[in-house]
Chains A and B, each alone.
Chain A
């Protein structure tokens, strides 16, 4: 790996992940969509069907942060290491918004009914793919601490490559949801595809 940010010694590397002058500003930025949504829910500003509005918003924010997380490595190679330094927080933001998305789904679409959940999970491909994506994010979020990273050693990197599986699942999820205009779904599909392709040896060989 030629990545600049990974060369320093372990202790320095961890301290960099955690701090830096931009830690809190980036934390604020990742929390902002949540705060705005919360305010909109509490002040009843999401229109007559807040269920749909919230589903769309939480899903799209998870998707946006996924794009940002996958952008972190190429961006650091292009001389902009900020995202890479804070990729843990960005990854946790993906998990956070995806979890909210699932919570809203349980509350307004499933009504916390095991029977309906079972039906959704067996009959609807987009639900299966979406839930599968969230389940794959679980171990990534869980092992995101320094302690776990140290404990898993080289396996940690292998484990966290699961994000390359999550991305296509999410694309499939959004394409399957589109009713007649696939514009939004294609936009994110193209972004994620480009970011995954950049990581393939062929493309990277040429870039170097």
Chain B
């Protein structure tokens, strides 16, 4: 199968009509496991390896973990990104994120935990049982994708550091390196770097909340948030913070980047909700990518991005138009 090729640039351009059927998709993982052995043994440089490194992961089994919708082609998911640290055009991250050094990498876990500490790249890629989760991904800009992520529940990570009873929220930070991230050097950008995001403790511990290290069976490309990013499938994409260097457990609701920038437009929760519009555009529909001009592939947006059965309970009694 073509997909076995490990060179980053040789991914085939697959039209959506030719997406691999699920049976083959699952078998592909076995093939990749074989390919890993080949890559490791070939003595390539670490950088070349991490750019194309395949991951071994079990298919997710929890409720909502694997949608049967057709995954977006890898081409689209890896070339069309918002990662403002590398520029505001959708193509900028793919063009410029290679400047980011992701190996070595460390993530500091601090705050209200019994055992504060640091996770290194090896811990992230080898220290947890990896699962493949196929989630819908809905951007606040009203486009969406379906992406097979590889990762482990955030709950697994947090439990290792033993959160105390004072831990009510989790605050995340993205790396901030002016020399490697050209977007952070733009003097017309009004984001106060580093990029920050946060979750309530019960959201963070929810089984769907994924600490993500890969997609499409390989480690994350830099533009998608390598080496470690968050994926919260029932929230708008900007909540799913990329290239995380700090996880802090706190007792107060943390301030997040978009909230500070435009509090009337982006709330702390930012759950996908077709009934609550962004002040500047409607959230009732989304363009499922890839779309085209003559067939925009415009579909109705679902409450909690279709994960209502799994997560609505977290927000019982809350007025979601107030806590948007």
A residues with CB within 8 A of B: 41, 44, 46-52, 54, 104, 107-108, 111, 116, 119-120, 123-126, 176-177, 179-183, 186
Give B88's nearest chain A residue, CB to CB.
A181
**New A-B contacts (13) at CB < 8 Å, excluding given A50-B291, A119-B282, A183-B188:** A41-B293, A47-B80, A48-B76, A52-B90, A52-B143, A111-B298, A116-B282, A179-B88, A180-B88, A181-B188, A181-B190, A183-B186, A183-B189
* Residue count of chain B within 8 Å CB distance of chain A: 32
Q: Complex: how many Å from CA A50 to CA B80?
A: 11
Contact with A108, one of B90, B191, B280, B298 (Cβ below 8 angstroms): B298
- CA of A81 to CA of B126, assembled, Å: 69
Q: Does B296 contact A108, Cβ atoms closer than 8 Å?
A: yes
Asked, given contacts A48-B79, A49-B90, A124-B281, whether A181 binds B293 with beta carbons under 8 Å apart, the answer is: no
Residues of the A chain whose Cβ atoms lie less than 8 Å from the Cβ of B261: 180
A179 CA to B281 CA, complexed, in Å: 12
Contacts A47-B80, A183-B188 given; indicate if A126 touches B280 (C-beta within 8 A): yes
A123 touches B277 (CB 8 A): yes
Partner of A111, one of B88, B280, B293, B296: B296
Query: With a CB–CB cut-off of 8 A, which chain B residues contact A108?
Result: 287, 291, 293, 296, 298
**Inter-subunit contact A176/B143 (CB<8 Å):** no
B290 within 8 A of A: yes
Nearest CB to that of A53 among chain B residues? Answer: B90
By a CB distance below 8 angstroms, the chain B residues around A104 are 293
A82 to B282, CA, bound (A): 44
User: Which residues of B are found within 8 Å of A182, using beta-carbon distances?
Assistant: 188, 190
Bound-state Cα–Cα, A179 to B75, Å? 25
Give B116-147 interface residues, CB cut-off 8 Å to A: 141, 143
9 A/B residue pairs, CB under 8 Å, sorted by A: A47-B76, A48-B76, A48-B289, A51-B296, A108-B298, A111-B296, A123-B277, A181-B190, A183-B186
